Structure 1
Amino acid sequence: MENTAEIQNHLTNKILQQGALVVGYTIIRQKEPVIVIGFPFSDQWILNHPFYITKRFGEEVWTSWKLLRDVTQVLRSEGYSADLKTPLSVFGDFRPLAVAAGLGNWGKNGLVTNTNYGSRLLFAAVFTNAPLQVSLTGNSGLINESCDNCTLCIDACPAKAFQNNRFHKMRCFPKAIRGCSECLQVCRGRVQLH
């Protein structure tokens, strides 16, 4: 391919054609490009069955891995480095990268909420040295507009994990591993994904 804009357009189209719902570009450490990709997620796939990965969730993870592998192959064939991190990678937290890449804003429940897909996205990333254009956002610290006057997720939390304008992950975690998804289920901004 002739230039990085052409590579980036090719990658964006390929990513969206292969099953991703959203794609954005950001940087880490002020210079290293990251491609952040959002895949469909439904709390029905795993949160209601927390001790095993359901068939549908497994299919989505397999789809994401194949897509990420294809993206890294394109970048490497153009002479760039590329390292993929799937939704199951022990990387850390993809949420700040997703917000920085313009894929959504912070919801009151601590999840990234996207205008079209609510908080129903699984994120993955490709780290590269290709000089890709960063997605323009400018609102990376904002709460999602649909959350402004809403407290449904906070009120529905059986663990009372949201208190004093703070999220207490150690209150949430024991409930979450047993399948709690109350904050997702009551969200008015949520979108059903099948």
Structure 2
Amino acid sequence: MNIRNDPTHPDDAAAGIEVTPEFERFTQRNDIFTRAFWDDSIRSAKTDAFFASYRMEATPRRGDGFGQRDFALRNASWLISDVITNRGAEDGKREGFQAPIANDTPVAPEQVPVDDPTAMSAEVKRIAQFFGADLCGITDLDTRWLYESRVDTRDLSAAPNDLPEGLTHVIVLGHEMEEDLVATYPSALAGAATGREYSHEAAVVMQLAAYIRNLGYEATASMNDTGLVIPFAVKAGLGEYARNQMVITPEFGPRLRFSKIFTNLPLTHDAPKPQGVRAFCDICTKCADACPVKALPFGPPEVTNDSPSSIKGVRKWTSDAAKCFGFWAKLSSDCAICMRVCPFNRDFRKWQHRMWLKLALSPARKIALWMDRKRGGRVKPAAWWARQG
């Protein structure tokens, strides 16, 4: 697959993406989760215990939100994702995370003619919704955001990041996380919101990819593997990049996971839709203030090339991945305090939150920030369990 030598792209400005001449594609071996297996500066007894807790091999922490049933629900929520992930282990392919999801169906030998790519795009979005996706956008296959190499999990070496030839589009899917569970971060219980959506998205992305292959076109299903999903999501018009390193969507704020499909099905692209999130984040530091280990940045976006776990040559807000993951390891679970406290963490299906959003994206954003000052507090995990009766 050809890689562009020019780091710029026509829709970068609209997407809020600023790429500098120092740009380098990211090597997945350097993501913080993979480094926790091979980099002695990251790996520790706590990181080993973090991974072991997902197999219930580590003793769960005590306390509200960190008891055995909290870990049990979190780990159960990951089950379907884990089944998919583990099936390629013998070949060093952790599908959905360090390798694309293998095709379970062949490409049909006869292609359904596509005379109207715009109509086909609408059809894809309808089918994505049918299978359970909450959002769907389409963009071009901008190869800058593909990983330079993937990871062979047998020895943690770099491996070719191969995709079928001729792929031209990326279908990006969004999957909403449960608001009530997110409100209990940090807790093992809250981790069930993450795991459930990874399991959901595995099913959705595989089914939609199978549908496209049944139409006679290539379709490679992908979760965290193969490429960086955030720039694809922004380019597909699903939202805007924020200080907390997440995509803020007008439907769910930052409260969702993303998956993607690489395909050659004739489609039209959605455009980036900047609405003012960047300007709001310029005056808001709630996520950075709330981070227990101060892993999130204050100040404007910068080009940071000092960590192997950050992409080089892109001006953006960048977290300290080592500090962030170190706190995860201490908890034996993921932390999304930055998601919980984000002023955009709202259900915009409700009229009062849509009114707040309109204010937040206007020149009156300071009033919106003031109105949000008392929101985002942690809900006790016991309260979530109590509501289930």
Q: Which residue of 1 aligns with 2:175?
A: 39
1:70 aligns with 2:207: yes
1:77 is displaced (CA, Å) by 2.3
Q: Is the 8 A contact 2:171 2:261 kept in 1?
A: yes
Q: Is the 8 A contact 1:108 1:143 kept in 2?
A: no
Structure 2 gap ranges (5+) = 1-111, 144-166, 300-317, 349-383, 385-389
Instruction: Give the TM-score taking structure 1 as reference length.
Output: 0.81
Partner of 2:288: helix, strand, or coil?
A: helix
Q: Which residue of 2 aligns with 1:60?
A: 197
Q: Which residue of 1 aligns with 2:245?
A: 110
1:19 aligns with 2:132: yes
Q: Which residue of 2 aligns with 1:7?
A: 120
Q: Which residue of 1 aligns with 2:289?
A: 155
Structure 1 gap ranges (5+) = none
| Cα distance change, pair 119–53 in 1 and its aligned pair in 2 (3 A) | closer
Provide the C-alpha distance between the structure 2 equivalents of 1:53 and 1:167, rounded to a whole number of angstroms.
20
Provide the C-alpha distance between the structure 1 equivalents of 2:278 and 2:284, rounded to a whole number of angstroms.
10
Provide the C-alpha distance between the structure 1 equivalents of 2:213 and 2:227, rounded to a whole number of angstroms.
24
1:174 aligns with 2:326: yes
Provide the C-alpha distance between the structure 2 equivalents of 1:182 and 1:53, rounded to a whole number of angstroms.
12
Which has the higher Rg, Structure 1 or Structure 2? Answer: 2
Q: Which 10-residue stretch deviates more, 118-127 or 25-34?
A: 25-34
Q: Which letter maps to 2:323?
A: R
Partner of 1:66: helix, strand, or coil?
A: helix
The C-alpha deviation readout for 1:54-102, integer Å capped at 9, x for no partner, is: 4x6554333322322222222112221000013xx43343111111111
The C-alpha deviation readout for 1:128-182, integer Å capped at 9, x for no partner, is: 0112111011649x75454242111111111111346452222222113433322
1:91 aligns with 2:188: no
Partner of 2:137: helix, strand, or coil?
A: strand
2:339 to 174, 184, 187: 184
Q: Which letter maps to 1:11?
A: V
Equivalenced residue count is 189
1:128 to 260, 263, 266: 263
Give 1:133-148 correspondences, 5 Å limit. 133-137=268-272, 139=274, 143-148=277-282
Q: Is the 8 A contact 1:26 1:33 kept in 2?
A: yes
Q: Which 10-residue stretch deviates more, 60-69 or 6-15?
A: 60-69
Q: More strand per residue: 1 or 2? A: 1
1:19 is displaced (CA, Å) by 2.1
